[in-house]
Structure 1
Amino acid sequence: MKITIITTNGITTEFNSWPERLQSRGLASRGHTVRAFTYAGTKSWNRERQEVIDGVAVQRLKQSWFSLELWQILLWGSPRPDVVHMQHLSNQFAFCAALACNLRGIPVVITPQGPFHDPFLVADRDRPYNAPPRYQDIIMNPLQLIPALLRRFKPKRHLRNYLTHAPLKMADRIIASSRHERGVWIKLGLNPAKVVIAPNVIDPDWLKGVKAAPKVGQPQILYLGQLKYRKGFDLLARAIPLVVKEIPEARFIFAGHSPIHQYELLKLVEEGGVKDKVVFPGQLSDEEKAAYFLASDLYVLPTRYEGFGIPLLEAMSAGCPVVSTNIPVVNEIIQDGENGLLVPPEDPVGLAKAIVRVLQDETLSNHLREGGRKAVVAYYTPLLIDQLEQLYKEIIAEKRPPNWRTVLRLDRRTH
């Protein structure tokens, strides 16, 4: 098959674990012709406008809601793709790509990657469960713009709302990464028959050749993720003094990218008198991340929201016990007491108790390690590629004719 993947920044040589990289590499390894379009940004991993990564021809285009270059490629380019697969709801290429595909009769698949990252759907993306989703605010066809403008005259915001969500309506399939996410899209009005579940995955060989990093303490507790309220770094910071009271020798590693709240984290550990118990290695490469998972005695993710939770899979595959929060999506991956422990959200005391429990109970720790290794097998890349190949064959067989009217349909269902 000739498959085109359209994404934001996910196909790079620096990050092997991002979903688009695994997807494109897996499909190319099966003999498919895979082409990818992504943003031409200023970040270090976007240096080359055109390059080949894992047998995938990657072309980087200027970020725009109305990319003339992408429009021309999809509408008139040769060879014509058999299917176009777009990643991320916030993808600015999605609208013009979906429209061009509809006009040319090319099947479209969209993987939104986490509905509650959407600022139009939730009031607070760091704490999306604090208020009901605003399904009524989502604009998926142009005639919805008129009443929206009458209610609140913010034309740029409403247009962006439409451009973000209209592709969902034009897609032949929406891929949700969890049961929870599928439910969100159905409540939004999408046709249940068009919304399928395919969880994100990890490369089964991602630990190959990696050695454990030197320990900074015994025991060593790892937090790996963005320093954002959504990830709950502040909850772990408040739990540390309670853990140290029981296990004085414990050391905590806070690693990850986008450290926008690092000052507050430092303030919290200073106020708790545990600054000397915390290490900040900064942003890690994929190999460094794997080394820290292998070296750590526990991985803690006190998250307030997860679109999926790939680090949970990575920790389990590395044999690192997991403690996380009992929220949607996470509780689809972690079975409490079997492959990890779940604690109530917004509960640093409960979090501390769970951390201490795992660290002091070797039998429990070993049980969680073994349970994690068994559970993660269901999230390996080959299974996703099998599912994608079958999905692509199904929508290609449907032989959808070119349809410009899809863009103007007034109903709220995809088909």
Structure 2
Amino acid sequence: MTDAPVDKPLTVLIACDTYPPHLNGAAQFGYRLARGMHGRGHNVHVLAPNDVNGGSRSDLEGEWPVHRLRSHGVPTHEYWRICLPWEIKKEIALLFDRVQPDVVHIQCHYMVGEYTLYEARKRGIRVIATNHFMPANLDPFLPFPKWLKRIVATNSWKDMGKVMGQAQVVTTPTPLAAEAMYRHAFLHDVMPLSNGIDASVYELHDGEQIPPHEAPTVLFVGRLAEEKHVDVLIDAVAKTPAHLGVRAEIIGGGEVRTALEAQVQRLGLQDRVVFRGLVSDEELREAYLKADLFCMPGTAELQSLVTLEAMSASKPVLLADAMALPHLVDKGRNGYLFTPGDSSELAGRITEILELPADEREKMGRTSREMVDRHSLEATLSTFEDLYRGDQGKRVNAG
């Protein structure tokens, strides 16, 4: 295996088990990685499950080719798709014949990532593996008792170690995630490398004016899934002082939306909690800029790109004290952590921030924006580019 010359554009095959139009952090990272490497002049190909029923196909009309493998829906998830080994192994081999990649970058140890890695190893092609996954992400979709879910989680960690241990370099967004992979998957030397963000996208343009909401508004963005605990935010809004008139704006879709809407009805918050569903990128940007603060009550976040987006828009943040979220809070300066599941504590923090003078809230938002600088997307792309070429590199952009 030889390293690629520094000045030679690379053919990069990015293998994803979830990719847009799926809406989750791993899918968005795969897209941003492809866009970033394409922008740097590399020949990018993406391999992902087909997002609809039917056979394998290649979408060649976009800026880079996206090759879709035959996949099947999962009854317990609204959009997740799985690929079966006996249906995709030959397809992956044929794709390697056509594309002739210099480097492969897998985003998961499940079917697409696993069998792409095996094919690359057979051919002596360099592999970089990035993990965006925690076993807790699966819990809501496994109709099993807790003892069986624990066995599934243990086996999933074991499989992660078996697959990703064959890559030349393994990365994950935060040091905490790297430590979890060491403890549970027995993967040594995992590199913490932020997913990265282009903060300028979420800043106000010169001369741009976006009026705030009429009432103070807490924003949540993300998949409406059990592990996001949006119900805690809704309960917290109900517990804030009536004179503040606090609203919650919830962006995203998912399997628990019906239950959350029923909770809102039960609490009589129909005029204070707004479900916006899926929105365009421009609508999302405007939502960040209009909000007074951002809340992420989730407990299985490996980094939380949506929190970084809100911080890029100069918003104070209230985050559950779980997984990687503490890395994004400087207590009292850009926001606060709260005990996971404690809606009373969260309500108190919402009240505390919204009762601050406007200039103090703005100062907290500026601190959020300053903290995002260490998550520069350009630094992340540069580090991956070094890794693709065989340079283990020292430009580590840790979360």
Does TM-score exceed 0.5, indicating one fold?
Answer: yes
Instruction: Letter of the 2:249 partner, please give it.
Output: I
3-state SS of paired residue (1:49) = strand
3-state SS of paired residue (2:365) = helix
**Residue from 63, 69, 84 that aligns with 1:61:** 69
For the 8 Å contact 1:212–1:291, the answer to whether it is kept is: no
**Residue from 97, 114, 127 that aligns with 1:108:** 127
The Cα shift of 1:361 comes to: 0.6
3-state SS of paired residue (1:170) = coil
Counterparts of 1:384 and 1:370 in 2: how far apart (Å)? Answer: 23
**Residue from 73, 81, 86 that aligns with 2:95:** 73
For the 8 Å contact 2:200–2:312, the answer to whether it is kept is: no
3-state SS of paired residue (1:206) = helix
Q: What is the CA deviation profile of residues 370-406 of structure 1, one whole-angstrom value per residue up to 9, with x for unaligned ones?
A: 1111011222211111110111222699xxxxxxxxx
For the 8 Å contact 2:56–2:69, the answer to whether it is kept is: no
The Cα shift of 1:328 comes to: 2.1
Counterparts of 2:382 and 2:222 in 1: how far apart (Å)? Answer: 29
**Residue from 184, 196, 202 that aligns with 1:201:** 196
The Cα shift of 1:253 comes to: 1.2
Which structure 1 residue ranges, 5 or more long, are not aligned?
A: 141-160, 398-415
1:39 aligns to 2:34 (yes or no): no
- Compared with structure 1, are the counterparts of its residues 304 and 12 closer, same or farther at alpha carbon in structure 2 (3 Å cutoff)? closer
For the 8 Å contact 1:135–1:187, the answer to whether it is kept is: no
For the 8 Å contact 1:123–1:131, the answer to whether it is kept is: no
1:267 aligns to 2:262 (yes or no): yes
The Cα shift of 1:138 comes to: 2.3
Q: Which residue of 2 aligns with 1:411?
A: none
Instruction: Letter of the 1:85 partner, please give it.
Output: H
1:3 aligns to 2:12 (yes or no): yes
Q: Which residue of 2 aligns with 1:219?
A: 216
Counterparts of 1:365 and 1:131 in 2: how far apart (Å)? Answer: 46
- Compared with structure 1, are the counterparts of its residues 187 and 30 closer, same or farther at alpha carbon in structure 2 (3 Å cutoff)? same
Q: Which residue of 2 aligns with 1:337?
A: 332
Counterparts of 2:70 and 2:153 in 1: how far apart (Å)? Answer: 32
TM-score, with length taken from structure 1: 0.77
Counterparts of 1:47 and 1:357 in 2: how far apart (Å)? Answer: 53
Which structure 2 residue ranges, 5 or more long, are not aligned?
A: 1-9, 72-82, 394-399
1:50 aligns to 2:70 (yes or no): no
For the 8 Å contact 1:6–1:87, the answer to whether it is kept is: yes
1:172 aligns to 2:142 (yes or no): no
- Compared with structure 1, are the counterparts of its residues 131 and 186 closer, same or farther at alpha carbon in structure 2 (3 Å cutoff)? farther
1:228 aligns to 2:235 (yes or no): no
TM-score, with length taken from structure 2: 0.80
Instruction: Letter of the 2:69 partner, please give it.
Output: L
Counterparts of 1:396 and 1:72 in 2: how far apart (Å)? Answer: 30
The Cα shift of 1:231 comes to: 0.9
Q: 310-319 vs 208-217, which deviates more?
A: 208-217
1:84 aligns to 2:84 (yes or no): no
Q: Which residue of 2 aligns with 1:347?
A: 342
- Compared with structure 1, are the counterparts of its residues 212 and 232 closer, same or farther at alpha carbon in structure 2 (3 Å cutoff)? farther
Instruction: Letter of the 2:183 partner, please give it.
Output: K
For the 8 Å contact 2:196–2:376, the answer to whether it is kept is: yes
Percent identical among aligned pairs is 22
Structure with higher RCO (Cα < 8 A, 6+ apart): 1
Q: What is the CA deviation profile of residues 146-201 of structure 1, one whole-angstrom value per residue up to 9, with x for unaligned ones?
A: xxxxxxxxxxxxxxx85x664223222221111111011111343423x1111112
Counterparts of 2:258 and 2:295 in 1: how far apart (Å)? Answer: 20
The Cα shift of 1:15 comes to: 9.8
RMSD: 3.4
Q: Which residue of 2 aligns with 1:292?
A: 287
**Residue from 243, 249, 252 that aligns with 1:253:** 249
Counterparts of 1:251 and 1:366 in 2: how far apart (Å)? Answer: 19
For the 8 Å contact 1:212–1:293, the answer to whether it is kept is: no
Counterparts of 1:244 and 1:168 in 2: how far apart (Å)? Answer: 50
3-state SS of paired residue (2:170) = strand
